[in-house]
């Protein structure tokens, strides 16, 4: 007797649509070949939604030719030049600067400014603070669509063999990268048309432009791809955060919950992350059930990149430790794919797959993380057998195919072991051999992995408000000086503005020759090695605790807003490094005696919370620049965290100073109404931003005072 249906349109999925054909594409080689072949068939409309994209990506290895350019950006441009009715819309996340080093520089320039007029490229930042656009979808003429865990970006291509040091697994920079495992699904028919509708909705939200559906009726299907199933219904589940008046959508989370509750024998999961507290609780409940299912999790050995290893891996350890504690019936196994010849690297598990018994399969972009449940945009496809023996057999075969890849065997051997053992855990354990295999995941962390003290900051389920961020990093005693600092800045800004007005409308300019003063500062740039001298001045100024803002103003007046900004930021960073090193050399005891009690509390927070704490302190300075640097060095905060936090916290404010000082200089040199108007506008923007932040801090203080008095 088939189980009760899980898919429920309007509750745990957006809608259920028919797929004329469906194919599972395991690993990047299969996906990239298929998507390139399908794109060659496009005639009217292509939609590409992604977390990332790279115009340099080559979808097929060297030596294979189809008459079109290899790099993705050139390939897309060639397609629209060849087909006069074709429009390609590329929509990717307007990413956070913390990922800048991992992404292609200037993708807008490569894909848009140099692109064909019918190649439309947009970076989508229409999401709450801290969120991302994480859907990974390609739709061709509404007749075929790809969806899963892979972006059209670098470091994704690989084969199921995951050969160590495969020379074809090479990024655009020419460097080899570790093995990469992921899954995409290809669908045609009404399911593809529904994903096209979803893509057009996303484009409208991002740009305000409504796109018409394509007119094509002919089928699209890449050559060489055999369908795994035909004529099946698929559920489409989404996560969309509440933003700009749009309602929140949490279908992904509800479908995870309903699927886990419906499991009878096996829950098989492959996922990049496992940090969701809700999923942990659901699985713990099933593991505690006397007759609950077995749970097999296949996760990466560790996350990709130092940032995630110090955040998401810390949270994963906490979640897995709690889940293992709930496994009193010993029905949980957590593995990672191991290949001894790959060390010191590892096979990067990036797919997002869940298989429930032989009855339900889901593939998509949603991780088992808190943010995928409510903060990031996500989209999954779910296939439910509903008693169809062919669909049930293909669901089971797909799970066995994934296990066979990890255990270096065949799906048939996996299926036989399942029948023989009557247990997924025993079947896997019996097939594990030396060499490439599945190894139990040890959640031990590196000694310095200590960032993730608070889940809402690292893996939030909902947008974090600014006051919560300030409250987290800065004690109430420290927020008072921060408010005073903002007040002083507003007063200084007002005095500068009044000075400019007095210069324009009073005899003040008759008493001071500003052009002479400005010329003296401008003369700095004519000195030999002026940029090096300026940067050295910042370093020396930091050692003697000279006010950084004054040095920034001088640099901008001397060299102009852009060049001066570069020198000021470079000098400030080097000054920060020098005083950080001084604090490390002097040691904690001396710095603590010199800094005082309040700064020493800051020292503890910097050491505990790393990059984010440094960034917040830079943005809302609560102590002199040089003192904070020495305290950070004495606190033994990691230099990499200190440097990145300093850059993130200082760059925006220094840019605002550059613009403001440039407008003041222009007004003093040429007090024309247009220059004065521009100065007033810039001053108002900066003052309003500072005032809003000051009110936020004051309101938070009053709320806490009220709570304390109750």
Q: Dihedral through CA 207, CA 210, CA 215, CA 220, nearest 10?
A: 30
Taking 50 as the threshold, does the pLDDT of residue 265 lie above it? yes
**Does residue 242 contact residue 375 with C-beta atoms inside 8 Å?**
no
Q: Distance between CA 185 and CA 147 in Å, rounded? A: 5
> Would you call 379 helix, strand, or coil by DSSP?
strand
* Helix (H), strand (E), coil (C) string for 168-192: CCECCCCCECCCEECEEEEEECHHH
Which pLDDT band holds residue 105 (cuts at 50, 70, 90)?
A: low
- Residue 201: its pLDDT value, please? 97
**Does residue 230 contact residue 390 with C-beta atoms inside 8 Å?**
no
- Residue 595: its pLDDT value, please? 46
Q: How far apart are the first and last CA of the chain?
A: 59
Highest mean pLDDT among 67-76, 503-512, 679-688: 67-76
Q: Dihedral through CA 567, CA 568, CA 570, CA 576, nearest 10?
A: 150
**Does residue 50 contact residue 136 with C-beta atoms inside 8 Å?**
yes
Q: Which residues contact 620 (CB under 8 A, 6 or more apart)?
A: 470, 474, 482, 485, 486, 693
DSSP bridge pairs for 668:
none
Q: How far is CA 49 from CA 54, 250, 321, 369, 536, in A?
A: 13, 19, 35, 21, 46
Q: Distance between CA 301 and CA 67 in Å, rounded? A: 40
Q: Distance between CA 456 and CA 444 in Å, rounded? A: 22
Q: How far is CA 190 from CA 22, 131, 141, 448, in A?
A: 12, 30, 12, 50
Query: How confident is the model over 167-224, as pLDDT tens digits?
Result: 999 888 888 999 999 999 999 999 999 999 999 999 999 999 999 999 888 999 999 9
Query: Residue 638 has which token pair?
Result: 């990691």
Mean pLDDT of 491-513: 54
Which pLDDT band holds residue 709 (cuts at 50, 70, 90)?
A: very low
Element (H, E) at 120: strand 119-124
- Residue 142: its pLDDT value, please? 97
Within its chain, how far is the Cα of 612 from the centroid? Answer: 15
Query: How confident is the model over 289-348, as pLDDT tens digits?
Result: 999 999 999 999 987 766 677 678 888 999 999 999 999 999 999 999 998 887 667 899
**Does residue 179 contact residue 162 with C-beta atoms inside 8 Å?**
yes
- Residue 369: its pLDDT value, please? 94
* Alpha helix stretches (DSSP H) within 476-529: 476-505, 508-511, 514-522
Q: Which of 21, 19, 18, 17 is nearest to 225 (CA)?
A: 21
Q: How far is CA 125 from CA 44, 203, 469, in A?
A: 26, 12, 20
**Does residue 308 contact residue 449 with C-beta atoms inside 8 Å?**
no
Element (H, E) at 653: helix 639-669
More confident residue, 190 or 553: 190
Taking 60 as the threshold, does the pLDDT of residue 113 lie above it? no
More confident residue, 659 or 132: 132
Q: Distance between CA 363 and CA 385 in Å, rounded? A: 15
Taking 90 as the threshold, does the pLDDT of residue 151 lie above it? yes
Q: How far is CA 323 from CA 280, 424, 628, 694, in A?
A: 6, 18, 40, 43
- Residue 471: its pLDDT value, please? 52
> Would you call 119 helix, strand, or coil by DSSP?
strand
**Does residue 372 contact residue 378 with C-beta atoms inside 8 Å?**
yes
Opening angle at CA 78, ends 73 and 84, nearest 5: 130
More confident residue, 295 or 658: 295
Burial 13-24 (b: 16+ CB within 10 A, else e): bbbbbebbbbbb
Where is average pLDDT lowest: 293-297, 395-399, 522-526, 553-557?
A: 522-526
Taking 70 as the threshold, does the pLDDT of residue 143 lie above it? yes
pTM of the model: 0.71
- Residue 42: its pLDDT value, please? 97
Domains along the sequence of the chain with CATH = 21-227 (3.30.870.10), 233-456 (3.30.870.10), 475-504+527-672 (no CATH)
Exposed, middle or buried by CB within 10 Å (0-12, 13-18, 19+), for 644?
buried
**Does residue 660 contact residue 686 with C-beta atoms inside 8 Å?**
yes
- Residue 457: its pLDDT value, please? 59
Provide the mean pLDDT of the chain: 80
Percent of the chain with pLDDT over 90: 50
DSSP state of 1: -
Exposed, middle or buried by CB within 10 Å (0-12, 13-18, 19+), for 278?
middle
- Residue 700: its pLDDT value, please? 43
């Amino acid at each position: 007797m088939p189980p009760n249906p899980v898919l429920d349109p309007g509750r745990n999925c957006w809608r259920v649509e028919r797929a004329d054909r469906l194919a599972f594409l395991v690993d990047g080689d299969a996906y990239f070949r298929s998507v390139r072949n399908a794109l060659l068939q496009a005639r009217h409309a292509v939609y590409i939604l992604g977390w990332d994209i790279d115009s340099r990506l080559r979808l097929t290895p060297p030596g294979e030719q189809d008459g079109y350019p290899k790099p993705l950006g050139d390939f897309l441009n060639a397609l629209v030049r060849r087909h006069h009715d074709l429009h390609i819309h590329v929509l990717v996340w307007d990413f956070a600067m913390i990922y800048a080093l991992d992404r292609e520089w200037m993708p807008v320039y490569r894909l848009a400014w140099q692109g064909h007029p019918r190649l439309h490229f947009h970076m989508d930042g229409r999401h709450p603070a801290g969120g991302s656009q994480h859907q990974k979808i390609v739709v061709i003429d509404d007749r075929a669509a790809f969806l899963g865990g892979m972006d059209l970006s670098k470091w994704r291509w690989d084969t199921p063999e995951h050969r160590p040091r495969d020379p074809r697994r090479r990024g655009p920079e020419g460097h080899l990268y570790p093995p990469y495992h992921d899954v995409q699904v290809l669908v045609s028919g009404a399911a593809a048309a529904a994903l096209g509708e979803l893509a057009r909705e996303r484009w409208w939200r991002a740009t305000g432009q409504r796109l018409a559906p394509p007119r094509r009726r002919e089928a699209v299907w890449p050559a060489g791809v055999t369908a795994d199933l035909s004529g099946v219904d698929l559920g489409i589940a989404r996560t969309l955060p509440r933003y700009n008046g749009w309602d929140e959508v949490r279908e992904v989370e509800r479908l995870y919950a309903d699927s886990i509750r419906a499991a009878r024998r096996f829950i098989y999961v492959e996922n990049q992350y496992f940090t969701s507290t809700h999923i942990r609780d659901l699985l713990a409940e099933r593991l505690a059930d006397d007759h609950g299912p077995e749970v097999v999790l296949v996760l990466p050995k560790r996350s990709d990149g130092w940032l995630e290893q110090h955040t998401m891996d810390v949270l994963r350890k906490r979640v897995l430790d709690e889940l293992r504690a709930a496994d009193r019936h010993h029905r949980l196994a957590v593995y990672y794919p191991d290949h001894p010849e790959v060390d010191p690297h590892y096979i990067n598990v990036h797919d997002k797959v869940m298989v429930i018994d032989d009855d339900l399969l889901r593939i998509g972009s949603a991780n088992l993380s808190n943010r995928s449940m409510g903060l990031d945009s996500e989209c999954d496809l779910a296939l439910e057998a509903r008693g169809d023996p062919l669909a049930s057999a293909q669901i089971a075969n797909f799970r066995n195919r994934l296990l066979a890849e990890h255990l270096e065997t065949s799906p048939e051997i996996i299926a036989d072991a399942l029948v023989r053992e009557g247990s997924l855990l025993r079947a896997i354990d019996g097939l594990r051999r030396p060499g490439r295999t599945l190894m139990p995941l040890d959640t031990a962390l590196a000694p310095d992995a200590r960032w993730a003290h608070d889940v809402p900051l690292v893996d939030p389920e909902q947008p974090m408000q600014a006051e919560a961020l300030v409250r987290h990093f800065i004690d109430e005693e420290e927020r008072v000086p921060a408010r005073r600092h903002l007040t002083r800045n507003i007063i200084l800004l007002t005095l500068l503005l009044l000075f400019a007005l007095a210069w324009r409308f009073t005899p003040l300019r008759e008493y001071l020759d500003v052009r002479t003063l400005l010329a003296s500062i401008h003369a700095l740039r004519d000195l030999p090695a002026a940029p090096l001298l300026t940067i050295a001045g910042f370093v020396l100024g930091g050692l003697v605790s000279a006010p950084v803002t004054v040095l920034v103003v001088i640099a901008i007046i001397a060299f102009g807003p852009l060049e001066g900004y570069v020198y000021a930021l470079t000098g400030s960073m080097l000054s920060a490094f020098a005083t950080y090193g001084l604090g490390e050399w002097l040691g904690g005891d001396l710095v603590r005696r010199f800094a005082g009690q309040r700064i020493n509390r800051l020292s503890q927070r910097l050491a505990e919370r790393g990059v984010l704490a440094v960034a917040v302190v830079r943005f809302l300075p609560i102590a002199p620049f040089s003192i904070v640097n020495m305290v950070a060095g004495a606190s033994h905060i990691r230099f990499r965290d200190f440097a990145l936090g300093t850059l993130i916290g200082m760059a925006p404010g220094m840019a605002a100073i550059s613009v403001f000082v440039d407008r003041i200089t222009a007004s003093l040199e040429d007090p024309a109404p247009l220059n004065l108007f521009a100065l007033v506008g810039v001053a108002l923007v900066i003052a309003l931003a500072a005032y809003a932040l000051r009110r936020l801090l004051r309101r938070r203080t009053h709320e806490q005072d009220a709570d304390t008095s109750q």
